[in-house]
Structure 1
Amino acid sequence: MKRPAHILPVIVLSQFAGTSLWFAGNAVLPELKEALHLNQYAVSHVTSAVMVGFIAGTFLFAFLSLADRFSPVKLFFISALLGSMINASVAWIAKDAASLYALRFLTGFFIAGIYPVGMKIAADWYEKDLGKALGFLLGALVLGTAFPHLLRNRDFALSWRSVFYFTSVFATIGGILMLLFVHNGPYRKKSGSFQWNAFKEIFMSKKWRQVSFGYFGHMWELYTFWGFLPLMLALYSEKNGMPLNVPLLSFLVIGCGSISCIAGGYLSQKFGSARIAIAALLISGICCFISPFIYQLPLFFFLLILFAWGLSVVPDSPQFSTLVAMYSPEKLRGTALTIYNSIGFTISAISLVVIDRAFYSKGFFGRENAMLLLGIGALTGLPSMIRLIRAK
């Protein structure tokens, strides 16, 4: 079956729009802290609320094998619609920290039907060149994550309520586009009923476990770096007495990862997904370990390292997803992707809490040294991926 030319662009655009819900709260955090009287740990609390909701959603979706039993396109649409409604409701329902965190939790729950399900839809359309396709798809995720920061740039300066409304409308449009222009792919293997042994069958694959452990190390670093990036920029500005456009720089540093995701997709066709993942994990790990020293550097070199970090912290994501899809039972591919995502985001939620406490501690770590702890991800993920390469 010939694949229509519009399939990948529509999936990418829909994923970009849907994932803009993710960091809507982080982009307007200073205003939320003031309006809802949030404490100093608001970065980890707001981000973790979405994470925990996403984890709950992915576990439920995986347990019920929803993406394998039902149309993933319709599941994506329904999730985008419901997630948008919950996200928009923050602007007029949230009155305190508890209501904000509850609504962000529910937003994360429905993102579980957008991000991993979008990968499942792409995997159902692409077989041999899945790494390249997922490179574009994860690039869309990166832009979606960065997009709310752009809305807070000085040139736009939308109010915090407007950011929630705008991202909700955008995500709804993405869901509608997916429903109207994409149908289930030719490589989809439908699972007719819920299978109690699905988890066991997936975990029996040694290569699936090796790739997943590499991904878990990557996830220890990724979202915590994104979440704390505005604080890192503000810290440099404070220490050096130099005003910075934090929203714009946050958008650019996070958003540049979309370029490396796409480039990594093309490079994976020549060097293989595993080698691209190892290279990215190694470079971002180095950035973690030199992070305590970057605040004393001139602005040019400080930003150079942040952009190197932004470029290297994410391009392994689509390659891990490609490898997981490759080493999963075909009829359980959607469930396998969802399981590994849910565990990965559980690790991200733990990382956020750990780094948040370290960031505000008065001991060795503190604000300058806290990001050093993100290097744990590279130290744990690289050995597993190296073993995978050697076993081939």
Structure 2
Amino acid sequence: MARAPTSTRGASASATASAPELDSSRSRPLRRPQPAARGSSRSRPTATRCTRRDAKLGRRSTRERVCVGTRPLYDASDEDSRPTRTGLTAAPGSGFPCDVTHSADASSLSDPAALELSVSVVRKRAPGLVPEVALVLGSGLGSLADSFEDPVVIDFGDLPGLPVSTVIGHRGRLVLGRFEGRVCVAMQGRVHLYEGHDPSTVAFGVRLMRRLGAHTMVVTNAAGGVRADLRPGDLMLITDQLNMTARTPLLGPNDDQLGPRFPDMGHAYDPALAELARKAATRLGLTLPEGVYAGVLGPQYETPAEVRMLRSLGGDAVGMSTVLEVIAARHVGLRVVGLSCITNAAAGLSDEALDHADVERVARRAHASFEALVRAIVAALPGPVDGGAQ
């Protein structure tokens, strides 16, 4: 006998409300972390080990994840307890695991917590090295860090808060060592907004280098020439910037320990350091044109109309990085000098199609003059030489 139809709206709603969420790898309910009292150490993101079955290999494997409200943050001095790139991390605000391509980032660890953990990792790997100068090395320019004496190399994936770079020409390594008699720290490559990262993550490396002790930053990039006289292979001294990304790493609550709520950007690029760079170029016999760098979101190259717009706004070169890093640098009190390697004429100024491989090739071709200029700038910086060790 057929059963009479019944209304399912209330029943289905009730079932939805009461049915537990299942862990697909174990087919059993997920355990939701309980909320902790405000200010409790249990409310901080934490790293814990978890064991799960590998469906392909049919065996259990131990992986790490970041959870909320389980136990205190791991001891950064314990190499084995550090979250790894292949582990799991919590989805923002949920406390549930999701796959990521890097160690615990700003979405799962708050910036201050991740920053202190990364500082601990670096100090353990490079004891006694306190950098004076920070360098950010852009596309095709990262080999400069290969010239460091007694280098200590740390992959971005080993540093909570720093994602692994996915762009060709960016090795994704933090390198510490002596360069021109000074202890320096260099980002061999960077991460970009167009890779899907938030502005705070893009700026994380700059904040880390400042926290490690750097007081001056040399920021470099590969850029397209917007001004007609800029040719592939030229080095351009950056005198100011246009932030065309509609993003800032300072959005949200301000951390007064990092810098002021409203940092002044009147001299984003330090005039005294710019003059130092001019004199260094003159000594080397290098022509050093100057200009304004326009930072755009990317990853697509600009249209001819966009290039005309940038020119009308005062832009002389265009790229997909740097502007957020400089904002973060000024916020934390770093003095900044910037160099662009012009790798191509921007769209509409040349009949050639733009290609990232060409960008890398031209940057490598300009490497000798680029390295010579950076060496001269670092050597001429004010302050003690052969300092930085403790």
Instruction: Write 1 or 2 for the structure with the bigger share of strand.
Output: 2
**Which band: TM-score by shorter chain?**
under 0.3
| Structure of greater relative contact order (alpha carbons < 8 Å, 6+ residues apart) | 1
